[in-house]
């Protein structure tokens, strides 16, 4: 699958990015290491396998990872929480609140607020930023191959997320991935460096077969993407 990030010119260089789900323990550790490095350096957040403390700025590691590779180098990754999502832990989002949104959207017969997952801990190495990799990673991470993990589709999972409103707007505008507001996120110390004073931080819901364009939802993993960037 080829994506042209910028118009082609004589100075254009091509970049091939491979997206694949981390399968082995070593691949999982590579993703955890990259996430921990970036989050500590930029936000002062540390990670644990078993406990979280928003006031001490300790986060839980995600349960699954999507890797972004260039020539086998891990340059970006996205985490997936299978349970204990941030909107549940920090945002106090309830099953009933999600079920109400499903009812309003006409999707209550296919989904339940009991079955939710969260895409989170989205990182790109500094030296690989502003080349279009992050945008592609966000799109590819919405593939059903990743969010449903080839499980029994009789109980498909919803996606929840929490972020600044501008982040949701950016990915909606560039990737056409829709999100539905659940409610604001309360303030915690763990959010102090990326929560903006001038805009709210929100919990949001994504209904996969309604809100994710087929280009992303049906994308196969592993998959290769070609980026064209100007030098």
Walk along the chain (231 residues) and give the pLDDT tens digit of each residue.
333 333 334 455 789 999 999 999 999 999 999 999 999 999 999 999 999 898 899 999 999 999 999 999 999 999 999 999 999 988 899 999 999 999 999 999 999 999 999 999 999 999 999 999 999 999 999 999 999 976 655 678 999 999 999 999 988 889 999 999 999 998 888 888 777 677 888 999 999 999 999 999 999 999 999 998 655
Rounded to whole angstroms, how far apart are CA atoms 206 and 177?
A: 8
Whether the ω angle into residue 222 lies within 30 degrees of 0, i.e. cis, is yes
Rounded to whole angstroms, how far apart are CA atoms 156 and 138?
A: 20
Rounded to whole angstroms, how far apart are CA atoms 141 and 212?
A: 11
- pTM, full prediction: 0.90
Cβ contact 157:195 at 8 Å: no
CATH, domain range 2-230: 3.40.630.30
**pLDDT digit string (tens) for 120-143?**
999 999 999 999 999 999 999 999
User: Of 102, 214, 90, 198, which is closest to residue 158 (Cα–Cα)?
Assistant: 102
How many residues are listed for the chain in this entry? 231
Rounded to whole angstroms, how far apart are CA atoms 38 and 44?
A: 9
Which 3 state secondary structure label does DSSP give 218? coil
Name the residue with tokens 């091509």: 14
């Amino acid at each position: 699958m080829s994506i042209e990030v910028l118009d082609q010119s004589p100075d254009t260089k091509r970049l091939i990015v491979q997206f694949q789900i981390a399968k082995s323990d070593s691949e999982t550790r590579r993703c955890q290491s990259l996430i921990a490095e970036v989050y500590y350096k930029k936000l002062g957040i540390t990670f644990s396998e078993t406990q979280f403390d928003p006031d001490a700025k300790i986060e839980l590691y995600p349960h699954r990872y999507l890797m972004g590779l260039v020539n086998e180098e891990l340059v970006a990754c996205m985490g997936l929480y299978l349970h204990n999502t941030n909107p549940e832990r920090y945002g106090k989002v309830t099953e009933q609140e999600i079920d109400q949104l499903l009812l309003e959207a006409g999707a209550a017969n296919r989904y339940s607020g009991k079955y939710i997952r969260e895409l989170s801990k989205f990182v790109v190495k500094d030296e690989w930023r502003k080349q279009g990799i992050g945008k592609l990673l966000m799109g590819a991470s919405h593939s059903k191959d990743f969010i449903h993990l080839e499980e029994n589709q009789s109980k498909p999972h919803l996606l929840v997320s929490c972020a600044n409103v501008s982040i949701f707007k950016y990915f909606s505008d560039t990737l056409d991935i829709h999100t539905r507001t659940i409610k604001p996120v309360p303030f915690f110390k763990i959010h102090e460096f990326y929560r903006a004073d001038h805009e709210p931080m929100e919990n949001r819901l994504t209904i996969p077969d309604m809100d994710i364009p087929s280009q992303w939802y049906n994308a196969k993993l592993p998959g290769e993407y070609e980026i064209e960037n100007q030098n």
